[in-house]
């Protein structure tokens, strides 16, 4: 296996799928001449030319709508947003057009399109550039939503998303682009809608996705070393469809659960997961399910306050101690 960055895994996925299928093309702001705002599309313009790597104006609803139209007539566009915060301007094209077209056309039109880009907080980007869009899109029937945490999952899920006949919202962690990890050689596909146990354990289940998977793993290592508590970390990977069965299976083994997310607590992904656990595994629980999320405030610019808002390992450790009656 090669060890590559999350960024390079995404680049490899795009390159392999564009080589495999001439109908795949990339469009968005600065994806061509500049190699992408985060260099995910590095080298693709030189290899595939400007007809398949299209720089666009700063008009998110315009180029997202163009992508939807292209998908309806048989192409497979990958629309890159410089950040999912900017995709708020394209919400109409994503939600009212892409997500609903198959239903509204009575199955006459598939919309095989991927909307991708970085989401969540980075470093001191403040309130308008640090939002977590995961629950906004997971709420919409007709969309599939992916949030990979590792290079291997970024590669495998993006390839699966490009091949999918339905619109896929692909949310990349803005602070994950430089994260390195092992990636299988050759063809590597990760099915959409299947969670994965990233760390086995017997005492408590920690459910997370995206950047918070790494936070959960750090917390689990501390718990094992300092308290001899073995936490099982379940990475959702896909937020719609949600692999509830894998979460329930883990909770039935460990009898305790902590759900972690970066976003706001009200109507978050974590709220859905907690509801699923209490409905499907209530009799297996030895303690109430605990939830860890970002604070219910707009993101502050000051680094010291930013650290208070975004969950780190410490609140996860405290939540595990609480459900294990160790606090």
Rounded Cα distance between 289 and 284, Å, is: 11
Question: Is 214 annotated as catalytic?
Answer: no
Main-chain dihedrals φ then ψ at residue 116, nearest 5 degrees: -135, 160
Q: Where are the alpha helices (DSSP H) in the chain?
A: 6-20, 44-48, 60-72, 91, 101-104, 134-138, 151-163, 211-227, 244-254, 269-280, 303-309, 313-323
Say if residues 16 and 154 touch (Cβ distance below 8 Å): no
Other C-beta atoms closer than 10 Å to the C-beta of 62 total: 14
| Tokens (6 digits) for 69 | 């139209």
Of 17, 29, 60, 261, the active-site residue reads 60
Of 29, 80, 129, 306, the active-site residue reads 129
| Tokens (6 digits) for 114 | 């991927």
Rounded Cα distance between 50 and 60, Å, is: 19
Question: Is 103 annotated as catalytic?
Answer: no
Active site residues: 60, 129
């Amino acid at each position: 296996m090669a060890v590559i960055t999350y960024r390079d895994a995404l680049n490899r996925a795009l390159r392999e799928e564009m080589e495999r299928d001439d109908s795949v093309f990339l469009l968005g702001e600065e994806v061509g001449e500049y190699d992408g705002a985060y260099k995910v599309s590095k080298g693709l313009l030189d290899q595939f030319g400007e007809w398949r790597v299209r720089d666009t104006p700063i008009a998110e609803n315009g180029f997202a709508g163009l992508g939807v139209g292209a998908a309806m007539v048989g192409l497979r566009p990958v629309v890159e947003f410089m950040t999912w915060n900017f995709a708020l301007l394209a919400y109409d094209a994503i939600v009212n057009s892409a997500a609903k077209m198959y239903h509204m056309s009575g199955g006459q039109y598939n919309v095989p399109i991927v909307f991708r880009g970085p989401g969540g907080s980075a470093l001191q980007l403040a309130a308008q550039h640090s939002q977590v869009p995961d629950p906004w899109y997971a709420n919409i029937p007709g969309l599939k939503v992916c949030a990979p945490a590792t290079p291997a999952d970024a590669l495998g899920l993006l390839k699966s998303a490009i091949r999918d006949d339905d619109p896929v919202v692909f949310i990349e962690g803005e602070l994950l682009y430089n994260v390195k990890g092992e990636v299988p050689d050759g063809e590597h596909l990760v099915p959409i809608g299947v969670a994965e146990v990233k760390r086995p354990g017997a005492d408590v289940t920690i459910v997370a996705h995206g950047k918070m998977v790494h936070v959960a793993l750090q917390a689990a290592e501390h718990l094992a070393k300092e308290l001899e508590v073995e936490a099982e970390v379940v990475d959702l990977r896909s937020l719609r469809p949600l692999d509830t069965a894998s979460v329930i299976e883990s909770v039935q083994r460990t009898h305790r659960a902590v759900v972690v997310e970066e976003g706001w607590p009200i109507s978050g992904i974590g709220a859905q997961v907690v509801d699923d656990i209490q409905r499907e595994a209530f009799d297996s629980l030895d303690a109430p399910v605990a939830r860890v999320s970002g604070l219910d405030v707009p993101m502050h610019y000051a680094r010291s306050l930013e650290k208070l808002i975004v969950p780190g390992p410490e609140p996860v450790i405290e939540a595990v101690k609480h459900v294990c009656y160790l606090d």
